[in-house]
């Protein structure tokens, strides 16, 4: 039983056949528990037992029976209105959340860009933070050593490498994070609207970098509200609403469906 | 294997844990060594004068008990907060969450080794005869580490759901302090309770340390097997609890 649960989310295993998918999602569902009365101590649980009473939480279906697959080298978009389950889906793919049922299989090394700069410590210098962030993304010290110059070049922060991170502007912060994260050289990238970082010239640079990665045959799953970006980058799209799949297919058609859905309300 | 893949992160987190611990005050490092010595002094005064203990080298006997107890107490107490204390690494990115607990226990382990180093110096200073049995110490301390890690896994996972666990654990540790032979000799334990008393693996660990470090005796094979088995069981149990509870960490934090 425990073993089955643990296998529900299969971690990257690296082997990929010629026609295998990079991301395979089979019928996953995720329910959140919304507590009616939040109990977070043993004491409160004991009191609850003494008082009796029924179930202490409501359930909210964030994902219902979602299935799709993304081929190697494909750029895949996920769109939908706020609260439709996009972020939950991304977190399940990243391995942060576990689905209640269904299977997720990811072939290859995955880099989740859910949020940039996770784990950055303001009291450390930019250089130390690059090593820390690299380690969080699963790089060894040697990996980061090799790529350090490139990271500093890309972020244009070489001059500030010994400055403490707390003195950085938010733009510099994100640039450093993006430059480091991109160096993990993933096979599968999960991107949550991080394209909108920094000023215009840096955005352009990020766009180019992502394009470069795309052309190198990597798989990208992009969650975005910017329909322009989706139209420009993605071959195929998934439209979601209320945790369910509404449409899946060529970008053009799915975007039209989205427009119809939004107008229909 | 996650330990190998994330060794760099484990190293960085362990070192930063130690830095926080030792840099927070000027006397930081000195305090962490003075603390067990002062505690030894207090217990020595009480137990030597009030209870008239006749144990040979009683001060050092006490110190070995205190230093080994401190690894369990400090290790589990700080590691309990390992998951709750780093929410962004749990909810915003995927890393094997055991990394957080392991690096926390490792930093306590290193502190404990430093305390034992001071202990060794004191042993020499008091003219204790050092025998080759001292070589049992590193091996047994690693077994002890596995034990503390197993307990910490369970505690850190449960603490996510039950935030008053630290209060409960504090009381349990207090109890453990007195049912382990930290400050008295095992010969004072009544015969009829002795069997149950010896089931506590920490009791055996303290006994092994005292035998091999202080009295130049070889620890019994049974006691070594027993603590190895308990460490394995605690590790398996802790991992199972952690794996089960880990599934909702990101939602509960």
pLDDT in tens, B73-107: 999 999 999 999 999 899 888 889 999 999 999 99
H helices, E strands: number in chain B:
12, 0
A17 part of a folded domain: yes
What's the number of domains chain A is made of? Answer: 1
Residue B114 burial class via C-beta count within 10 angstroms: exposed 0-12, middle 13-18, buried 19 and up: middle
Asked whether the predicted pLDDT for residue B242 surpasses 60, the reply is: yes
Q: Taking the mean position of all CA atoms in its chain, how far away is CA B88?
A: 28
User: Picking from A51-60, A105-114, B95-104, B244-253, which range would have the lowest pLDDT averaged per residue?
Assistant: A51-60
Q: What is the pLDDT of residue B253?
A: 81
Q: What is the pLDDT of residue B116?
A: 92
**How far is CA B96 from each of CA A38, A72, B26, B243, rounded to the nearest angstrom?**
27, 25, 35, 11
Asked whether the predicted pLDDT for residue A38 surpasses 80, the reply is: no
> What's the CA gap between A173 and A64, in Å, rounded?
36
Interface-testing mutation among B88, B94, B244, with chain A (most A C-beta atoms within 10 A): B94
Q: What is the pLDDT of residue A195?
A: 57
Q: What is the pLDDT of residue B32?
A: 75
> What's the CA gap between B154 and B169, in Å, rounded?
12
**Across the interface, do A118 and B162 touch by the CB < 8 Å criterion?**
no
Q: What is the pLDDT of residue A55?
A: 58
A237 part of a folded domain: yes
Q: Is the ipTM above a cut-off of 0.90?
A: no
**Across the interface, do B12 and A118 touch by the CB < 8 Å criterion?**
no
Asked whether the predicted pLDDT for residue A9 surpasses 60, the reply is: no
A93-120: average pLDDT = 86
Q: What is the pLDDT of residue B211?
A: 93
> What's the CA gap between B79 and B152, in Å, rounded?
6
Q: List the domain range (segments joined by +) for residue A35.
A: 2-109+225-264
Residue A129 near residue A121, CB atoms below 8 Å:
yes
Comparing CA positions, the residue from A225, A226, A255 lying closest to residue A238 is A255
**How far is CA B113 from each of CA A97, A114, B118, rounded to the nearest angstrom?**
37, 39, 9
C-alpha distance from B21 to closest chain A C-alpha (Å): 15
- B128-152 pLDDT, tens digit each: 888 899 999 999 999 999 999 999 9
Higher pLDDT, A179 or B228: B228
Q: What is the pLDDT of residue B196?
A: 92
B243 CB neighbours in chain A (<8 A) are 2, 5-6
Q: Quick one: which H or E segment has residue A256?
A: helix A251-264
User: Picking from A13-17, A127-131, B117-121, which range would have the lowest pLDDT averaged per residue?
Assistant: A13-17
Q: What is the pLDDT of residue A183?
A: 85
Asked whether the predicted pLDDT for residue B238 surpasses 90, the reply is: yes
Question: Which residues, other chains included, contact B104 with Cβ-Cβ below 8 Å and sequence gap of 6+?
Answer: B13, B14, B17, B78, B79, B81, B82, B152, B156
Backbone angles phi, psi at A97, to 5 degrees: -105, 150
Residue position matching structure tokens 């643990």? A6
- B24-41 pLDDT, tens digit each: 666 667 777 788 888 888
HEC string of B129-189 equals CCCHHHHHHHHHHHHHHHHHHHHHHHHHHHHHHCCCHHHHHHHHHHHHHHHCCCCCCHHHC
Q: How confident is the model at residue A52 (pLDDT cuts 50, 70, 90)?
A: low
Q: What is the pLDDT of residue A5?
A: 39
**Across the interface, do A140 and B8 touch by the CB < 8 Å criterion?**
yes
Asked whether the predicted pLDDT for residue A6 surpasses 50, the reply is: no
Residue A79 near residue A240, CB atoms below 8 Å:
yes
A242 part of a folded domain: yes
Q: What is the pLDDT of residue B25?
A: 62
Residue A22 near residue A187, CB atoms below 8 Å:
yes
Percent of all residues in chain B with a pLDDT value above 70, rounded to a whole number: 96
**How far is CA B26 from each of CA B20, B21, B32, B38, B39, rounded to the nearest angstrom?**
12, 11, 12, 18, 21
**Across the interface, do A135 and B90 touch by the CB < 8 Å criterion?**
no
CATH for A241 = 3.40.50.300
B163-179: average pLDDT = 94
CB of B243 less than 8 A from some CB of A: yes
User: Picking from A46-60, A100-114, A153-167, B128-142, which range would have the lowest pLDDT averaged per residue?
Assistant: A46-60
Asked whether the predicted pLDDT for residue A11 surpasses 60, the reply is: no
B161 CB neighbours in chain A (<8 A) are 40
CB of B247 less than 8 A from some CB of A: yes
Q: Quick one: which H or E segment has residue A207?
A: helix A200-215
Q: What is the pLDDT of residue A13?
A: 42
How confident is the prediction for chain A on average, in pLDDT? 82
Q: What is the pLDDT of residue A7?
A: 40
User: Picking from A83-92, A132-141, B19-28, B66-75, which range would have the lowest pLDDT averaged per residue?
Assistant: B19-28
Of the candidates A6, A132, A138, the beta carbon closest to that of B6 is on A138
C-alpha distance from B83 to closest chain A C-alpha (Å): 13
B247 CB neighbours in chain A (<8 A) are 5, 98
Q: What is the pLDDT of residue A16?
A: 45
C-alpha distance from A97 to closest chain B C-alpha (Å): 6
The vertex-B159 CA angle with B157 and B163, nearest 5°, equals: 160
How confident is the prediction for chain B on average, in pLDDT? 90
Asked whether the predicted pLDDT for residue A199 surpasses 80, the reply is: no
Asked whether the predicted pLDDT for residue A83 surpasses 90, the reply is: no
Q: What is the pLDDT of residue A138?
A: 83
Q: What is the pLDDT of residue A14?
A: 43
Interface-testing mutation among A110, A116, A119, with chain B (most B C-beta atoms within 10 A): A119
User: Picking from A67-81, B139-153, B159-173, which range would have the lowest pLDDT averaged per residue?
Assistant: A67-81
B251 CB neighbours in chain A (<8 A) are 32-33, 97
C-alpha distance from A136 to closest chain B C-alpha (Å): 6
Interfacial B residues in 138-167 facing A (CB < 8 Å):
161-165
Convert B36-57 to b/e letters by CB count within 10 Å (16 or more is b): bbebbeebbeebeeeeebebeb
Helix, strand, coil percent content, chain A, rounded in steps of 5: 40, 25, 30
Neighbours of A184 (CB within 10 A): 19
A218-227: average pLDDT = 86
**How far is CA B110 from each of CA A81, A212, B242, rounded to the nearest angstrom?**
51, 45, 24
Q: What is the pLDDT of residue A108?
A: 83
Q: What is the pLDDT of residue A197?
A: 62
Residue A226 near residue A115, CB atoms below 8 Å:
no
Percent of all residues in chain A with a pLDDT value above 70, rounded to a whole number: 89
The helix-helix angle for B136-161 and B201-209 (nearest 10°) equals: 150
B5 CB neighbours in chain A (<8 A) are 138
Interface-testing mutation among B92, B102, B160, B169, with chain A (most A C-beta atoms within 10 A): B92
Asked whether the predicted pLDDT for residue A165 surpasses 70, the reply is: yes
CA dihedral A71, A244, A88, A102 (to 10 degrees): -70
Q: How confident is the model at residue A239 (pLDDT cuts 50, 70, 90)?
A: very high
Q: What is the pTM of this model?
A: 0.87
Question: What residue ranges do the domains of chain B occupy?
Answer: 2-252
Kindly identify which residue of chain A lies nearest to residue B15, measuring between CA atoms: A132
Q: What is the pLDDT of residue B52?
A: 66
Residue position matching structure tokens 């032979």? B181
Of the candidates B8, B88, B243, the beta carbon closest to that of A6 is on B243
Residue position matching structure tokens 């179930």? A55
């Amino acid at each position: 039983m425990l073993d089955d649960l643990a296998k529900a989310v299969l971690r990257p295993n690296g082997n990929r056949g010629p026609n295998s998918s990079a991301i395979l999602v089979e019928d996953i569902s995720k329910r959140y528990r919304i507590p009616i009365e939040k109990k977070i101590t043993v004491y409160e649980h004991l009191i609850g037992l003494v008082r009796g009473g029924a179930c202490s939480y409501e359930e909210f279906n964030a994902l219902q029976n979602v299935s799709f697959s993304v081929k190697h080298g494909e750029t895949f978009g996920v769109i939908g209105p706020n609260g439709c389950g996009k972020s939950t889906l991304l977190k399940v793919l990243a391995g942060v959340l576990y689905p209640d049922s269904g299977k997720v299989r990811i072939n290859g090394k995955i880099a989740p860009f859910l949020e940039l700069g996770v784990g950055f410590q303001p009291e450390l210098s930019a250089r130390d933070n690059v090593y820390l962030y690299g380690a969080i993304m699963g790089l060894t010290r040697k990996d980061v050593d090799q790529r350090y110059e490139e990271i500093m070049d890309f972020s244009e922060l070489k001059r500030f490498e010994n400055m403490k991170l707390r003195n950085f502007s938010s733009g510099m912060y994100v640039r450093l994070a993006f430059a480091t994260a991109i160096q993990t050289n993933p096979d599968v990238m999960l991107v949550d609207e991080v394209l909108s970082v920094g000023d215009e010239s840096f955005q352009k640079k990020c766009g180019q970098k992502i394009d470069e990665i795309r052309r190198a045959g990597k798989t990208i799953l992009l969650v975005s509200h910017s329909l322009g970006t989706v139209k420009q980058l993605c071959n195929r799209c998934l439209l979601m609403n209320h945790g369910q799949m509404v449409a899946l297919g060529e970008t053009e058609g799915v975007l039209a469906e989205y427009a119809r859905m939004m107008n229909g309300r | 294997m996650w330990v190998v893949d994330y060794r760099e992160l484990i190293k960085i987190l362990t070192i930063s844990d130690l830095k926080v611990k030792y840099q927070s005050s000027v006397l930081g490092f000195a305090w962490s060594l003075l603390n067990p010595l002062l505690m030894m002094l207090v217990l020595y005064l009480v137990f030597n004068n009030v209870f008239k203990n006749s144990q040979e080298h009683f001060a050092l006997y006490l110190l070995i008990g205190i230093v080994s107890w401190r690894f369990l107490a400090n290790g589990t107490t700080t590691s309990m907060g390992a998951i709750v204390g780093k929410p962004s690494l749990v909810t915003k990115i995927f890393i094997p969450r055991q990394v957080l607990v392991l690096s926390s226990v490792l930093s306590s382990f290193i502190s404990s080794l430093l305390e034992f180093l001071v202990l060794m110096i004191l042993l020499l200073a008091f003219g204790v005869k050092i025998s080759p049995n001292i070589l049992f110490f590193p091996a047994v301390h690693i077994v002890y580490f596995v034990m503390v890690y197993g307990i910490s896994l369970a505690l850190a996972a449960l603490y996510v759901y039950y935030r008053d666990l630290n209060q409960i654990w504090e009381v349990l540790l207090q109890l453990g302090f007195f049912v382990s032979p930290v400050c008295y000799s095992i010969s004072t334990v009544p015969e009829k309770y002795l069997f149950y008393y010896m089931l506590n693996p920490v009791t055996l660990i303290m006994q092994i340390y005292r035998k091999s470090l202080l009295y130049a005796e070889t620890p019994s094979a049974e006691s070594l097997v027993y603590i190895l088995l308990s460490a394995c069981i605690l590790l398996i149990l802790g991992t199972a609890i952690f794996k089960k509870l880990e599934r909702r960490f990101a939602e509960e934090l």
